[in-house]
Amino acid sequence: MKRLHPFMLAGTGSDVGKSVLATGLCRILLQDGYHPAPFKAQNMSLNSYATPDGLEIGRAQAVQAEAAGIPCHTDMNPVLLKPNSDQASQLVLHGRPAGNHTAYEYFHASGRAGLRRAACEAFDRLSRRYNPIVMEGAGSIAEINLRDMDIVNMPMARHAGADVFLVADIERGGVFASAYGSIMLQRPEDRGRIKGIIVNKFRGDLRLFRSGVQMMEEVCGVPVLGVVPYFHDIRIEEEDAMELAAKASSPCGGKTNVAVVKLRHLSNFTDFDCLERDGRVHLYYADSAEGLDGADIIILPGSKNTADDLEHLRRNGMARAVVRARHEGKTVLGICGGYQMMGMEIADPEGVEGRPCREAGLGLLPVRTVIGPEKTTRQVAFRGYGFAAHGRGYEIHMGRTSLDIGTPASPLARLDDGSCDGCLADRKCMGTYLHGILDNPSFVDFLLEPYRGKTQARREEGHAAFKERQYDLLAAHLRRHLDLEGIYRILASEEG
């Protein structure tokens, strides 16, 4: 296939749809015979994923790699920031933890040149193996106060020799001003890299924006390469926690009600996407003790700051409500940080997640956790320990959890390397470190079995097949609304 320029989807702001568009374009390029790969120099997200070689990247790039039909790799996201408080984040470099930093420390650190070099070297390695590289920017490209410290937007596009397509979100209003301002605030050498605009999240009759397209092209001086309508019927895994605002927040009748406790530092909320689609289940997110009253099953999810989130649950009464629900016979499942919360004690003697502490857990599982600097990141296969469930998942956690000696509880699962995971106190009380465990039908059947009389509906499509179909649906949607001929012409031109 002809060599195409790398290209970057840059944004007029955050949450304009860059990640989803990159996912769809990865699938289109694959369908059209190319060998694409995603790349985002720096990502900030609590939704991450374990690569096949046991390292960590942002979930968005893992999804994009899946759409491109290739295994994910840390070169696709060499710098990952995972917020663990309002002002600090864990830095993950090439898939491994590299300490905690405040925003000021991160942007003004003397090692900034090293991060830029790491990102450029990762891109160079990818570009030798794949064609083309589908790059994603971060936030707005017009944050001129951060321009000299930026390693992900226009400086990265310059290094890559990439064409830039500006993504503007029409739903939030001010689309002309945001597109024009984003272009005009660039330095001349960067402004010339912007080869087109994609107007995203359009609602209504597209014919009403035809004159708008012409006006935008005249004002901005670059072509509009598509107006993409907002969609509701295509499900692509999101990494931005802002998506949680659109999720259900209360129980309903006729199905098994599953409440996910909405933690302040909730991580890997894509753990629940598959369960949310199960016809037997109504899944919702609860942020108050009253919100748990109608639940049949309560899930304590992952957290980037387990002790802080547990303390917050105690302050707002949810910790007491979870314990009460357990005593009333409801099911309680903890995943990763939620599993740690369910134990007898959590200790963080070195302050890995924030401040040094030793906290009593909820006392629902006979386990104790010590948080340490070593991070476990791996993909695994599992089998239920004494019950019929099997499948795959992945671990991303900084902590070691041990079962109290002499307890009648058992591990939840046996892993493919012979080790054990989690804790099963009884049929309705369990915890695990396995993200993705709810993507496995046999485990979901085990979880829902006590409530089988509530509904006869079933999920008919496997998770992997469902995701593949969504990528194809997204690609078809973009083919209808993007000027792909124009995009290919830009990417194949002699100009760099």
Which positions are catalytic? 336, 435
Strands 42-44, 79-83: pairing is parallel
SS3 letters for 442-485? HHHHHHHHHHCCCCCCCCCCCHHHHHHHHHHHHHHHHHHHECHH
Identify the three-state secondary structure at position 288. Answer: coil
CA nearest neighbour of 51 among 30, 84, 80, 91: 80
**DSSP assignment string, 396-441:** EES-EEEEPTT-S-B-SEEETTS-EESEEEETTEEEES-BTGGG-H
Identify the three-state secondary structure at position 5. Answer: coil
Give buried/exposed letters for 191-220 (b at 16+ CB in 10 A, else e).
bebbbbbbbbbbeeeeeebeebbeebeeeb
Q: How far is CA 119 from the centre of its chain?
A: 20
> Which residues neighbour 291 within 8 Å (Cβ) at sequence distance 6 or greater?
249, 250, 259, 284
Strands 48-50, 42-44: pairing is unpaired
SS3 content of the chain, % helix, strand, coil (to 5): 35, 30, 35
CB 455 within 8 A of CB 403: no
Beta bridge partners of 384: 413
Give the separation between CA 264 and CA 318, rounded to whole angstroms. 13
Q: What tokens does 472 get? A: 């194809």
CA nearest neighbour of 45 among 230, 270, 231: 270
Residue carrying structure tokens 């660039």: 186
> E strand or H helix at 282, and its extent?
strand 281-286
Q: What tokens does 420 get? A: 């054990």
Give the separation between CA 161 and CA 181, rounded to whole angstroms. 23
Strands 367-370, 376-384: pairing is unpaired
Vertex 73: Cα angle to 70 and 78 (nearest 5) = 140
CB 72 within 8 A of CB 57: yes
CA nearest neighbour of 229 among 271, 192, 266, 199: 199
